[in-house]
Amino acid sequence: MSNAKQNSFVNFFCQECRKPIKSEPSLLEGNSEKLLALLSEKTVDDEISKKIKTNLNSNTRLTLIEKPTDSFVVLSTTSGNSNQFSNNEIANRSSLNYRLKIVNNIFDVISGKNEIDHPLCNDCAKILYEKLKKQLAKIKKENVFYQSYYNQFISDIENNDNEDTDNVERDILEEKQKSDFETLEVMEIQLKELEMEYSKLEQEAKELNELEKKVWKKANLIQLKIDEYNDYKESIEINLNQMSNKLKKLHMANGYNDTFRIEYDGVFGTINGFRLGRLPSYQIDLCEINAAFGQTLLLLYSLAKKADFKFKNYRLIPNGSFSKIEKLDDNSYYDFYIKENIITIGRLFKTWRIDKALVAFLSCLKQFGEHLENNNDSNKIFQLSYRIEQDKIGDASVKSKEDEIWTRALKYILIDLRNIAIHVT
């Protein structure tokens, strides 16, 4: 590896601003004898100094070598041991560690002659140069003032031949000198006091710096805890908002609408996909109609149970496609489904429909609707979409012999049930 590559890893730090600086390449790449010539004997390591002094005291001779670029003095010896030491010394001096040590010694020597620590970066050196320049200008002004005062004093002494005047001036000068010495002593005492006070202030400043570090450390810990708390608080708020939105959706959700989906399919009302009704031109399977009847009765039964309402004269018995309505006064039952064995007779006499069971169901639906209307509050007002009178709901009768009217009456029943489910839930 070349010297240039080795030097690229060498860094020094400015003693003023503590920024890394790059040393002059000639300090590390120049001849070691040149660097030694810049140092006093105190700056060289003790062991190296002793070796050099021993070689100088032995049989040595000086040879001046001049080159186009530089000139220096080479110390050489004639003894074999001296040649061996010279080779080792040259090997040591060619190492990067030795050159760095020499450069550090140079900086120590420069720093020891004044109050300025070296090395300095270019910016700090410029600032120092400006300060020293101002001090030099101030000292020059003072020097001019003192020189003029001195010249005036000399001229006054030379021009004054009167001995009495000289004695008076001498006395005045002595008194002034005495007073100046007294003032100087007082100022020295004040200077010592100020130095003591300065040392105390420095100690207090160190203690304050330590205290400030502790305070900032605690402040950082507190800020870290505050940030953690804020993050936790934000996460809690986000979770709270999410839960609130879910709760609102749950409040708005209607379990009965999801369980008993009431819709329509053309002229037919449907509950959970089962069509309720029958037309001459569109015959619905009897099993589907009975399933729709069972779902309808189960829905009214569930809504009344939720509202804690009991029907008068009737009791609903949900049992799927074979549900029934019990008459309480004589304990008789009405089948809320259509039997297959009466379809043929019904086609002849139009009596196969479950007229009594439907009338009883309308009575129960009317009772529940009137109960909800009578218990309205200011925020929720309920009213049946289709009014019920005996066997009629709206303008259609459940006892009608016409399939279209009978189907429409069943559709009105489903609409009223859907409105009751929305109000109750």
Q: What pLDDT shows up at residue 379?
A: 67
Q: What pLDDT shows up at residue 396?
A: 86
Measured between its terminal Cα atoms, the distance across the chain in Å is 88
Q: What pLDDT shows up at residue 24?
A: 66
- Residues forming a β-bridge with 269: 264, 276
Q: What pLDDT shows up at residue 199?
A: 92
Q: Is the bond into 119 cis (omega within 30 degrees of 0)?
A: yes
What's the distance, CA 64 to chain centroid? 70
Token pair recorded at residue 245: 């939105």
Report field, pTM of the whole predicted structure over 0.75: no
Q: What is the CA radius of gyration of the chain?
A: 58
Considering the chain, what percentage of its residues have pLDDT values greater than 90?
16
Q: Which of the given ranges, 56-60, 65-69, 418-422, has the highest pLDDT on average?
A: 418-422
Helix, strand, coil share (%) of the chain residues, nearest 5: 65, 10, 25
Token pair recorded at residue 204: 């207090």
Helix (H, G, I), strand (E, B) or coil at 411: helix
271's CB contacts (< 8 A; 6+ apart) are 260, 261, 262, 292, 295, 296, 299, 414
Phi and psi for 366 in degrees, rounded to 5?
-65, -45
Beta-strand pair 332-335/324-327: antiparallel
Q: How far apart are CA 343 and CA 323, in angstroms?
A: 18
Whether the predicted pLDDT of 307 surpasses 70: yes
Q: What pLDDT shows up at residue 5?
A: 41
Q: How far apart are CA 279 and CA 340, in angstroms?
A: 17
Q: DSSP secondary structure string, 273-327?
A: TEEE---SSSPPPHHHHHHHHHHHHHHHHHHHHHTT---SSEEEE--GGG-EEEE
Token pair recorded at residue 52: 């050099």
Q: List the one residue out of 286, 277, 347, 356 whose CA is nearest residue 322.
A: 286
Q: What pLDDT shows up at residue 397?
A: 87
pLDDT digits over 161-199, tens only? 555 566 777 778 888 888 888 899 999 999 999 999 999
Q: What pLDDT shows up at residue 161?
A: 54
Q: Which of the given ranges, 28-42, 228-242, 306-320, has the highest pLDDT on average?
A: 228-242
- pLDDT band, residue 311 (cuts 50/70/90): confident
Whether the predicted pLDDT of 390 surpasses 70: yes
Whether the predicted pLDDT of 218 surpasses 90: yes
- pLDDT band, residue 76 (cuts 50/70/90): very low
The burial of 6, by beta-carbon neighbours within 10 Å (0-12 exposed, 13-18 middle, 19 or more buried), is given as: middle
Beta-strand pair 332-335/388-389: unpaired
* Backbone CA torsion sign across 376, 378, 380, 384: positive
Q: How far apart are CA 407 and CA 353, in angstroms?
A: 11
> Mean pLDDT lowest for which of 87-101, 119-133, 346-360, 366-380?
87-101
Q: How far apart are CA 60 and CA 77, in angstroms?
A: 5
Whether the predicted pLDDT of 10 surpasses 80: no
Token pair recorded at residue 40: 């006093």
* Backbone CA torsion sign across 372, 373, 374, 380: positive
Token pair recorded at residue 360: 């009883």
- pLDDT band, residue 17 (cuts 50/70/90): confident
Assign a CATH topology to domain 255-424.
Answer: Actin-binding Protein, T-fimbrin; domain 1 (1.10.418)
> Region 356-366: what's the mean pLDDT?
90
Q: Which of the given ranges, 108-117, 135-144, 336-345, has the highest pLDDT on average?
A: 135-144
> Region 252-260: what's the mean pLDDT?
74
More confident site: 191 or 260: 191
pLDDT digits over 274-296, tens only? 888 888 888 888 888 889 999 99
- pLDDT band, residue 79 (cuts 50/70/90): very low
Q: What pLDDT shows up at residue 383?
A: 79
